[in-house]
Amino acid sequence: MDLTFTPEQQTFRRELQEWFTEHGPKGRLDSPYSEPGYSQHLEWEHALHEAGWAAPSWPSEVGGQGVDAWAELIYDEEYARFRLPERLNKMGLIHGGPTVMAHGTEQQKSEWLPGILTCEDIWCQGFSEPGAGSDLAAVRTTGRIKGDAMIVDGQKIWTSQGIIATTMFALVRTDPESRGHRGLTFVIIDLRSPGVEIRPLGQLHGNPGFAEVFFSGVEVPVANVIGEVGDGWHVASTSLALERGTARGSHTRMEQALVDLARDTAATGASGASVRRLGELAAWVAAYEQAAYASTHEIATGRGKDYASVIKMLGTQILTAVHEENLEVLGADAEVMADHGPNAEMYGMRRNYWHGRGAEIYAGSNEIQRNIIAERQLGLPKEPRG
């Protein structure tokens, strides 16, 4: 397994660096959940799209460049290294759009994919419900087929980007007699439809954007179903793997957090124990980077070996550990250091810490990932379930 970059890949990296240097925002943007901030983020997204950098790995016919998995990794690394704004349409870019590419019809692809890249449509994910967070088999929102329409009733919760989203890719139960993963359907819902109510939901780290979404007799065209009616779990599995998937620059963000920790450790004259801990975390970050490269190699060579759960679980654990150590080193000063973290409404490292803890839950909790690794990849006996 060769994990070094070729001359062509290095050229691609330099091209990106030059464009980001010339065109990247020179200052920090306001929160995308404020009116001026949304306009600022939209202007940046339009600049990316016009230059062909909105989603380089997407097909050229919908606005991408069709680059391979290694080039996509380089793009993610440089985007993180330049500390560029969080993507406005990240749900659509990371897993909504690619799921449509994998399972949608040509009509569905041409209808929805361009709007994701231009941010004409902002996508969110509608999987979690009050009784179905990590356990998606417990989804209760219903989709009743009536002629050419599906009538949706129920509630989704913990919806990231929910207060700015126009479009939701959701799991609904279309067979009321079904249980578990059977009888679910994956469908695209226009959140501007009559009967949709979006309520903002606060988060511990202070960032807005979360929402709970209620559906009351919402009429959705059956043509919006991705895959087959009743086969939604199969489609959703693709979306979940994409969400957990490759590191998407998280190893670069870890390295940046580690540099911050090293700087703070030196500045505060921290103990020998803190220095040793810094070394341990540096080793974990280096190992994680190699795991991200190995995962990219598997994808690029089409071998299909699934590291998604391992990448997701270890990545969130390491990042939380780095932030916890930084809180320990800084002490009370951690509460007032406003330069740590993007879009922070809560000052200091505390915001990063809470975001890291949240990452251990979203996209399937780390407990769920351990079950997947044990049962599907190691072939261990299944956990007893009621």
Catalytic residues: 243
SS (H, E, C) 142-198: EEEEECCEEEEEEEEEEECCCCCCCEEEEEEECCCCCCCCCCEEEEEEECCCCCEEE
Residue 187 and residue 180: Cα distance in Å, rounded? Answer: 18
Cα–Cα distance, 383 to 368 (Å, whole number):
11
Distances (CA, A) of 77 to 16, 70, 73, 135: 10, 11, 6, 32
Q: How far apart are CA 172 and CA 136, in angstroms?
A: 10
Residue 23: how many other CB atoms lie within 10 Å: 14
The number of residues in the chain equals 386
For residue 215, CA distances in Å to 138, 198, 211, 223, 310 come to: 17, 9, 13, 19, 35
Please state, in angstroms and rounded to a whole number, the distance separating the CA atoms of residues 147 and 166.
25
Task: Name the token pair of 304.
Answer: 């299909």
Dihedrals phi, psi of 124, to nearest 5 degrees = -135, 165
- Interatomic CA distance for residues 348 and 350, integer angstroms: 5
Contact in structure between 226 and 186 (CB atoms under 8 Å): yes
Tokens linked to 54 = 């909105």
